[in-house]
Amino acid sequence: MYDIIIIGSGPAGLTAALYARRAEKSVLVIEKETFGGQITHSPRVENYPGFEEISGSELGERLLSQAMAQGAEIEFDTVVGITGEPGAYTVKCESCEKTAKSVIIATGSKHRTLGLSGEECYTGDGISYCAVCDGAFYRDKTVAIIGGGNTALQEANMLADIATKVYVIQNLAFFTGEKNLVSRLDSRDNVEAILSTVVTDIIGGDGFRGIKIKNTESGDTRELYIDGMFVAIGQVPENEPFKNQVNLNGYGYIEAGEDCVPTGAEAGIFVAGDCRTKAIRQVTTATADGAVAALAACRFVDSIK
């Protein structure tokens, strides 16, 4: 039995692993997709203290190797649920079961889809949710990025280096991302902002061909023939497997305060990072949660010895 099992290897989970190992607890981190979490999709991180600029994938690798160097064990599997009682929890995965005295849920969130018919069918073949991963396939092509927050603007800037033309389509009349990202985009000749506009349909057939868009103020519609569409309209949590252990709010986030103790949870279950209710979802706030949750879990483990 491990002292602590951590579900998710993003900045929150790996920081929790680091702190728990430094307190000499046995630690297993279980990850279902990408070691390092969603920050690995970011081309450039400029707001993590200590690094003027670092790629998300390098930051993810550093977090992982630091936790492993301290002796954290890492497994690749998908957690489907937690059962048991304080001091003796079973973490059920798709291919195995592991036991621990305490569990930290650090499952973050994943990309939101537009919910359009055909979206799933063209994903990976004209539609992408990660410009860092797929941008290179669109060299000298025409693409659209949907969204107007920091992620969309960062990705649009990156795509402008690769593609011939980049449309940035935002449902609001303004961008919500940081001003310096907006001005960087303004200075690009091959970027066209289309504001107050939503995507209503995908134009397909024999492959992805483009999108139909609608201006929300005038009601005007238009067909846009493009080679690729990148969707960057935010994140949704993945907390369904834990809904019997913790309270979820209306958006699916685990209800918890800065102490990382979920409401409605039994003793010994903690939550860290983007998967919980919080005002700001960033690497800094995720790592802070990782430390808080780990130290709380360590105290719990010590209390039942």
Q: Which of 77, 96, 125, 130 is catalytic?
A: 130
Shortest reach from residue 88's CB to ligand FAD, in Å: 20
Please say if 134 is a catalytic residue.
Answer: yes
Q: Kindly state the greatest CA–CA separation across the chain.
A: 67
The residue among 227 and 274 lying less far from ligand FAD, judged by its C-beta, is 274
- Whether 133 is catalytic is yes
Residues in contact with ligand FAD by CB under 6 A are 7-13, 30-34, 37-39, 41-42, 45, 47-48, 78-79, 106-109, 151, 238, 241, 273-274, 281-284, 286
Q: How far apart are CA 299 and CA 179, in angstroms?
A: 43
Catalytic residue at 96?
no
CB nearer ligand FAD, residue 45 or residue 301: 45
Closest approach, Cβ 134 to ligand FAD, in A, equals 12
CB 164 within 8 A of CB 141: yes
Min dist. Cβ of residue 18 to ligand FAD (A): 12
Distance CA 184, CA 168 (A): 13
Neighbours of 127 (CB within 10 A): 24
User: Which residue is catalytic, options 77, 93, 121, 134?
Assistant: 134
Evaluate whether 201 touches 211 at the Cβ level (below 8 Å): yes
Nearer to ligand FAD, 151 or 197 (CB): 151
Q: Which is nearer to ligand FAD, 224 or 246 (CB)?
A: 246
- In the complex, least distance from residue 261 CB atom to ligand FAD, rounded to whole angstroms: 16
* Shortest Cβ 203–ligand FAD spacing (Å): 26
Nearer to ligand FAD, 213 or 275 (CB): 275
For ligand FAD, the closer of residues 251 and 303 by Cβ is 251
Shortest Å distance, C-beta 30 to ligand FAD:
5
Closest CA to 151 of 206, 113, 111: 111
Residues serving a catalytic function are 130, 133-134
